[in-house]
């Protein structure tokens, strides 16, 4: 239990006593204007990101907004979206934080390959991700076929399927954020805990986790936001059925088929809810200036 960690893998500066040197606070640079060459593209970039949102606001049917908000199906889709995105985030944290820890703290062959594999869902078109999920977790899939025959469980077209699709797409965001936090964290605290007799599990729980908590929180928020907006993998793997698998993005897409204004209203709801939640969480968990 109290076996010390083998220090041979650590750097020699471990032996230096005392806490890490304090980082100097960033000084305000007075009297120096930002260069135009940066300001112009920055302004263009901002306009590029903000204008489409403004377009939604301008085109929104404000007069009929109240009726559309209480239209049947809207709240159902919103509730399902919030529920599945939250469960998917929990799944991602439970599986993703240990994965990030292994990547950041354990030296093993093929670590680079593992890291590259983890980022694949980031670049994979989500629709392809959905097909891939069907091939594994679908009724005829490698895992799904076994689940179906042994337990009679099918995942495709269920709310659980939505969670799987969202977690698949969103987990890389969490792993990358947490791994970055772990790499940025000062390992000397962990080594100090080890010298004091703490095992690796205890060190992880009592030292590492509190140390990188802001990073985990930031990763979880990013992960949740990605899960909330997930469309391609969800519609491919989980299908579209109101109340069971029809999340807000799916409802938006189908509304777009018939009625542009409903689609705008649904998008605005999703936007408002996510911005509110993210702003609240940011204030509470993450200290960013």
Using rule CB under 8 A, residue 138 touches other proteins? yes
Minimum distance between the CB of residue 78 and other proteins, rounded to whole angstroms?
18
Which residue among 21, 24, 30, 36 contacts other proteins (CB under 8 A)? 36
Per-residue contact flags (x/-) with other proteins for residues 212 to 251, judged by CB under 8 A = -----------------------xx--xxxx--xx-----
Minimum distance between the CB of residue 36 and other proteins, rounded to whole angstroms?
6
Residue indicated by tokens 């100097």: 24
Count, residues near other proteins per rule CB under 8 A:
28
Using rule CB under 8 A, residue 34 touches other proteins? no
Which residue among 41, 55, 98, 210 contacts other proteins (CB under 8 A)? 41
Minimum distance between the CB of residue 55 and other proteins, rounded to whole angstroms?
11
* Tokens at 126, concatenated: 């989500």
Positions in the binding site for other proteins (CB under 8 A)? 35-37, 40-41, 131, 134-135, 138-140, 156-157, 235-236, 239-242, 245-246, 253-258, 260
């Amino acid at each position: 239990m109290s076996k010390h960690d083998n220090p041979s893998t650590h750097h020699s500066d471990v032996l230096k006593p005392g806490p890490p040197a304090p980082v100097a606070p960033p000084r305000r640079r007075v009297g120096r204007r930002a260069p135009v060459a940066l300001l112009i593209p920055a302004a263009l970039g901002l306009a590029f990101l903000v204008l489409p949102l403004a377009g939604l606001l301008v085109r929104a049917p404000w007069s009929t907004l109240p009726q559309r908000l209480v239209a049947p199906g809207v709240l159902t889709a919103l509730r399902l979206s919030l529920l599945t995105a939250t469960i998917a985030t929990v799944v991602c944290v439970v599986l993703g934080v240990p994965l990030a820890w292994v990547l950041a703290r354990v030296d093993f062959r093929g670590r680079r390959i593992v890291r590259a594999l983890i980022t694949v869902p980031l670049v994979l078109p989500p629709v392809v991700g959905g097909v891939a999920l069907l091939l594994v977790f679908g009724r005829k899939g490698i895992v799904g076929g076994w689940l179906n025959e042994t337990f009679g469980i099918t995942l495709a077209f269920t709310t659980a399927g939505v969670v799987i699709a969202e977690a698949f797409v969103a987990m890389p965001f969490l792993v990358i954020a947490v791994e970055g936090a772990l790499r940025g964290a000062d390992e000397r605290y962990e080594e100090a805990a080890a010298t004091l007799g703490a095992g690796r599990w205890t060190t992880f729980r009592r030292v590492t986790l509190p140390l990188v908590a802001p990073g985990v929180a930031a990763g979880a928020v990013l992960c949740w936001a990605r899960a909330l907006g997930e469309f391609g993998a969800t519609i491919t793997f989980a299908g579209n059925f109101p109340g069971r698998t029809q999340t807000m993005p799916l409802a938006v897409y189908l509304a777009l088929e018939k009625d542009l204004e409903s689609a705008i209203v649904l998008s605005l709801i999703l936007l408002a809810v996510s911005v509110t939640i993210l702003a609240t969480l940011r204030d509470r968990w993450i200290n960013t200036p």
